[in-house]
Structure 1
Amino acid sequence: MQKILGISCFYHDSAAALLVGGKLVAAAQEERFSRLKHDPAFPAQAIQSCLDQAGLTLADIDAVVFYDKPLLKFERLLETFLAHAPFGLPAFCRAMPVWLKEKLLLKTVLRQELMALSGLAKTALPKLLFSQHHQAHAASAFYPSPFSRAAVLCLDGVGEWVSASIWLGENEQLTPLSEQHFPHSPGLLYSAFTSYCGFKVNSGEYKLMGLAPYGEPVYVDLIYQHLLTLHEDGSFVLNPDYFDFAVGKRMTSSKFHRLFGGQPRRADEPISQKQMDLARSIQQVIEDIVLKMAWHAKQLTGCQAVCLAGGVALNCVANGRLMREGPFKQVWIQPAAGDAGGAVGAAYLAWHQYAGQPRQLAAGAPDQMQGSYLGPEYSDAAIEQQLQAQQLSYVRLTDQELHPQVADLLANGKVVGWFQGRMEFGPRALGNRSILGDPRSPQMQSVLNLKIKNRESFRPFAPAVLQEMASRYFQLIGTSPYMLLCCQLRPELLLPLAEAAPVSSGFARLAEQRSTLPAITHVDLSARVQTVDASTNPRFHALLQAFYQQAGVAVLINTSFNVRGEPPVCSPKDAIEGFLATDMDVLVLGNYLLLKKNQPQAAIDRARAREFADD
Structure 2
Amino acid sequence: MNVLGLSFYYHDSAAALVKDGVLVAAAEEERFSRLKHDSGFPTLAIEFVLSQAGLTIHDVDHIVFYEKPFVKFERMLLTAMATFPRSSAVFRESMQRWVTDKLWIKSLMQKEMGVPGSKLLFADHHMSHAASSFFTSPFEDSAILTVDGAGEWSTATYGVGRGNKIEIIKELRFPHSLGLLYSAFTAYCGFEINEGEYKLMGMHPYGQPKYCKEIYELLEVGEDGSIWHDMKYFAYHYSRDQTLAEAFGQHFGKPARDPKLQDQSLDPYYCDMAASIQKVTEEILLKMATWLHKETGMKNLCLAGGVALNSVANYKILRQGPFENVYIHPAPGDDGGSVGAAYWAYNHLLDQPRGPGLTHAYLGSEYSDDEIRAFLEKYDIPYTYYEDDEEFFQFAAQALADGMVCGWYRGRFEWGPRALGSRSIIADPRKQEMKEKLNAKIKFREAFRPFAPSVLEERANEFFDFPEAADWWPGRFMLYVAPVREEKRDVLPAITHEDGSGRLQTVYKETNPAYHRLIERFGELTDVPVIMNTSFNLKGEPIVEHPSHAFNTFSLSGMDLLLMNNFVVEESAKKKIADTKFTLRHEGDSVTEMVS
Which category describes the TM-score, using the shorter chain as reference length? over 0.9
Give unmatched runs, 5+ long, in structure 1.
116-121, 495-514, 611-615
On the 8 A contact 2:312/2:481 being kept in 1, the answer is yes
Of 543, 549, 568, the residue aligned with 1:574 is 549
TM-score (norm 1): 0.92
- Find the counterpart in structure 2 of residue 239 from structure 1: 230
Q: Matches of 1:202 and 1:46 in 2, distance apart?
A: 21
- Find the counterpart in structure 2 of residue 512 from structure 1: none
Change in Cα spacing, 1:609 to 1:10, as seen in structure 2 (3 Å) is closer
Superimposed CA distance per residue, residues 456-494 of structure 1 (whole angstroms, 9 cap, x where no aligned partner): 000010100000000110001443100000111112224
CA-atom RMSD in angstroms: 1.4
Of 574, 578, 582, the residue aligned with 1:604 is 578
Superimposed CA distance per residue, residues 412-456 of structure 1 (whole angstroms, 9 cap, x where no aligned partner): 100010001101010000000000000000100000001000000
Q: Matches of 1:202 and 1:453 in 2, distance apart?
A: 19
- Find the counterpart in structure 2 of residue 15 from structure 1: 14
Q: Matches of 2:429 and 2:178 in 1, distance apart?
A: 34
The answer to whether residue 146 in structure 2 is matched with residue 147 in structure 1 is no
Q: Secondary structure at the match of 2:276?
A: helix
Cα drift, residue 602 of structure 1? 3.5
> How many residues are aligned here?
574
The answer to whether residue 376 in structure 2 is matched with residue 387 in structure 1 is yes
Q: Secondary structure at the match of 2:482?
A: strand
- Find the counterpart in structure 2 of residue 438 from structure 1: 428
Q: Matches of 1:32 and 1:608 in 2, distance apart?
A: 14
Change in Cα spacing, 1:609 to 1:101, as seen in structure 2 (3 Å) is closer
- Find the counterpart in structure 1 of residue 47 from structure 2: 48
Cα drift, residue 591 of structure 1? 1.1
Q: Matches of 1:262 and 1:528 in 2, distance apart?
A: 32
Q: Which amino acid aligns with 2:291?
A: H
On the 8 A contact 1:580/1:608 being kept in 2, the answer is no
Q: Matches of 1:93 and 1:70 in 2, distance apart?
A: 18
Give unmatched runs, 5+ long, in structure 2.
470-474, 585-596
Q: How does 1:214-613 map to 2 (within 5 A)?
A: 214-225=206-217, 227-248=218-239, 249-269=241-261, 270=264, 271-360=266-355, 362=356, 367-368=357-358, 370-397=359-386, 398-479=388-469, 480-494=475-489, 515-597=490-572, 599=573, 601-607=575-581
Change in Cα spacing, 1:339 to 1:477, as seen in structure 2 (3 Å) is farther
Q: Matches of 1:17 and 1:273 in 2, distance apart?
A: 43
Q: Matches of 1:260 and 1:609 in 2, distance apart?
A: 46
Cα drift, residue 229 of structure 1? 1.0
Q: Matches of 2:545 and 2:226 in 1, distance apart?
A: 40
Cα drift, residue 260 of structure 1? 2.1
Cα drift, residue 576 of structure 1? 0.8
Q: Which amino acid aligns with 1:64?
A: I
Q: Secondary structure at the match of 1:593?
A: strand
Superimposed CA distance per residue, residues 118-155 of structure 1 (whole angstroms, 9 cap, x where no aligned partner): xxxx54x7700000000000000100000001111100
- Greater shift after overlay, 601-610 or 248-257? 601-610
Q: Matches of 1:602 and 1:61 in 2, distance apart?
A: 46
Q: Matches of 2:579 and 2:508 in 1, distance apart?
A: 39
On the 8 A contact 1:59/1:126 being kept in 2, the answer is no
Cα drift, residue 608 of structure 1? 11
Q: Secondary structure at the match of 2:259?
A: coil
The answer to whether residue 39 in structure 2 is matched with residue 78 in structure 1 is no
Q: Matches of 1:13 and 1:129 in 2, distance apart?
A: 20
User: After TM superposition, which residue ranges in structure 1, 4 or more long, deviate above 3 angstroms?
Assistant: 605-610
Q: Matches of 1:487 and 1:353 in 2, distance apart?
A: 35
On the 8 A contact 2:549/2:583 being kept in 1, the answer is no
Cα drift, residue 517 of structure 1? 0.6
Identity %: 47
- Find the counterpart in structure 2 of residue 32 from structure 1: 31
Q: Matches of 2:46 and 2:22 in 1, distance apart?
A: 17
Q: Which amino acid aligns with 2:233?
A: Y
Change in Cα spacing, 1:381 to 1:126, as seen in structure 2 (3 Å) is farther
Superimposed CA distance per residue, residues 379-432 of structure 1 (whole angstroms, 9 cap, x where no aligned partner): 111111111122111111121111010000000100010001101010000000
TM-score (norm 2): 0.94
Q: Matches of 1:492 and 1:211 in 2, distance apart?
A: 24
- Find the counterpart in structure 2 of residue 502 from structure 1: none
Q: Matches of 1:591 and 1:99 in 2, distance apart?
A: 49
Q: Matches of 1:208 and 1:473 in 2, distance apart?
A: 26
On the 8 A contact 2:536/2:544 being kept in 1, the answer is yes
Q: Matches of 1:448 and 1:606 in 2, distance apart?
A: 23
Cα drift, residue 609 of structure 1? 13
Cα drift, residue 375 of structure 1? 0.4
- Find the counterpart in structure 2 of residue 509 from structure 1: none
- Find the counterpart in structure 1 of residue 202 from structure 2: 210
Q: Matches of 2:487 and 2:118 in 1, distance apart?
A: 58
On the 8 A contact 1:304/1:328 being kept in 2, the answer is yes
